[in-house]
Structure 1
Amino acid sequence: MSSQIYRQFDPWRPSPVQEVSRQQVLKSHYFSVDQVNYLAVGDEPFERSILNEERGDTIAILALDAQGRIPLVEQYRLPTHRWTLEVPAGHPKNEQERPVDVAARKLQEEAGFRAEHFTQFARFINTPSFSNQHTSLFYAQGLTPTDRAHLGPETPRQEVRMYTLAEAYRMVIAGTILDAKSVIAILRAKNGFAELN
C-alpha cells in the first residue's frame, strides 16, 4: 500500500448534495432539531434530522489541583440510564456568555473549584453525522475549593471524585470513563500540557 498523498484534504470543498428545504420540528433549552430535505447526485431526494446546538459550544474543563489530581463529577445520564464520571462541563446561559466565563462557572458549580488560569486547548465536533455540536476544552490551573451549586433533579447526590491523571487514564483505557469529552480531555492531558504552561 502506498503512503503517497494525491490530494490534500479540503474540508471546505463544495457540497455533494443540495439542501431543498428545512423546518424546525423541536426546540429545547440546549438544542433544536430541523427536518431537512436534500437532493443527492442524480436528483435523488432524501431526508435527515439535524440537531443544532443553541447558544454556542459546549464547554468542558480539565482541571488539575496542586497534587496533580483531576475533579471528575458523577452524573446520572437519563438517555443511557447509567452513571458516568465526567469532567465538569456545560452550556452558555445566553449568547453573550463567553466560553472562558462558562468554564469558570461550570468548574465552580459542578466541581466546587475556582481557578486562577484557564487555557483553551482543544475543540472538536461531537457527532458530525447528525449534529453541529462542538465542544471546547479548557485546562484550569491554580485551583481553590469553593461551594458547589445544586445541579438538577436527575442527579440529587452528585459526588466529585479526585483522581490523578494516571488513575484517570487507566479508567479511560479500562472503559470506566466513557464520556467522549472526558476521554478526549484525559488522553490529551496524558500526552502533555507543557506547551500550555
Structure 2
Amino acid sequence: MTSSSESPRHDFRTVASEDLHVGKILALRVDEVEMPGGGTAKREIVEHTGAVAVVAVDDEGQVTMVHQYRHALGRHLWELPAGLLDHQGEEPVAGARRELAEEVGLDARQWHALVDVAASPGFTDEVVRVFLARELSEVDRDVQGEEEADLEVHRFPLAEAVRMVLAGEIVNASTVAGLLAAREVLDGRAEPRPADAPFRDKPTRFVARGK
C-alpha cells in the first residue's frame, strides 16, 4: 500500500489573479486556484515585504524590548526591535542591524538566525526572520518617525520575558517565538543557524512590484 507521503501531491495552480489593493507595505490580491476535486476556489492573499526582529541579549542575560502602539489591536505591545525588509537588495541580517540601531540604539558583534515565523500563512506571505544578537554595544539612535519616537525601551531578564510570554503578556508572534528559541539556545539545548542561513520563505512578490 502506498503511504500518503509517497502519493503524488496536488499542484494548487493559480489560474487567475486580481489585485484589489496595492499600498505602501502590502497588497491584497485574489487568486483563483485549482483544487484537488477538479474545481477552483478563490483565495484572498495579503502580500507583504517580510520583516526582521532581534533578540538582543546583553552580558547579564537581559533582553531589550520595546513597548509600541499597534493600531490593529488598539494598544501598546511589548515586542522585540523589528522592522520591514523594505530596502531593495538589503540582506536580512543587515536589515536587523539597522533596525536594532534605529529603535534601541544598539549594535552587536555576534549574530545568528533563530527562527523564521510565518505570521498567518492561511492568508498572508509575511514571514519574519528572528535573529539572536550578542556582544552588544551602544550606538547613536536615529529615530525615523513618529511611531519610533513614541517607543518605550526596556530591558528584561530573559527568564522574565519568557514568563511574560507564558502569562499572555507578550502576544506578538515573532516575539513569542524568538524569546522561546533564544532561551533554548542560551540554555544550551539548541544550536542557532548562521546569520546568513538560507531564507526559503522570504517574501518576494510585493517587493518585485517595485512600490
State TM-score, norm by structure 2. Answer: 0.80
- Within the alignment, does 1:14 sit opposite 2:7 as a pair? no
Q: How far apart, CA to CA, are the structure 1 residues paired with 2:183 and 2:37?
A: 48
User: 1:108-187 counterparts in 2 under 5 A?
Assistant: 108-154=101-147, 156-187=149-180
**Count of aligned residue pairs for this structure pair:** 188
Q: Call closer, same or farther: CA 1:185–1:9 in 2, change over 3 Å.
A: farther
1:36 aligned onto 2:28 = no
> Which amino acid is 2:57 matched to?
L
4+ aligned runs moved over 6 Å, structure 1: none
Cα displacement string for residues 98-131 of structure 1 (whole angstroms, at most 9, x for unaligned residues): 1111010001111210111111122132111001
**Partner in structure 1 of residue 18 of structure 2:** 23
**2:90 matched to which residue of 1?**
97
Q: CA deviation at 1:147?
A: 2.6
2:117/2:173 contact within 8 Å kept: no
CA contact (8 A) 2:65 2:154 kept: yes
Gaps of 5+ in 1: 1-5
Q: Residue type of the partner of 2:53?
A: A
For 1:188, give the aligned amino acid.
A
> Cα–Cα, structure 1 residues 48 and 196, in superposed 2: closer, same or farther, change >3 Å?
closer
Q: Structure 1 vs Structure 2: percent identity of aligned residues?
A: 29
Whole-angstrom CA distance in 1 between matches of 2:5 and 2:115: 22
| Residue of structure 1 equivalent to 2:44 | 49
1:192 partner SS: helix
Name the Cα RMSD after superposition. Answer: 2.3
> Deviations for 1:157-186, whole angstroms, at most 9, x for unmatched residues?
211010011110110111111101000011
Measure the CA separation in 1 of the matches of 2:4 and 2:40.
Answer: 30
- Larger relative contact order (Cα-Cα within 8 Å, sequence gap ≥ 6): 2
Query: 1:42 & 1:13 partners in 2: Cα distance?
Result: 13
The alignment status of 1:189 with 2:185, answered yes or no, reads no
For 2:142 and 2:24, locate their aligned partners in 1 and report how far apart those are by CA, in whole Å: 19
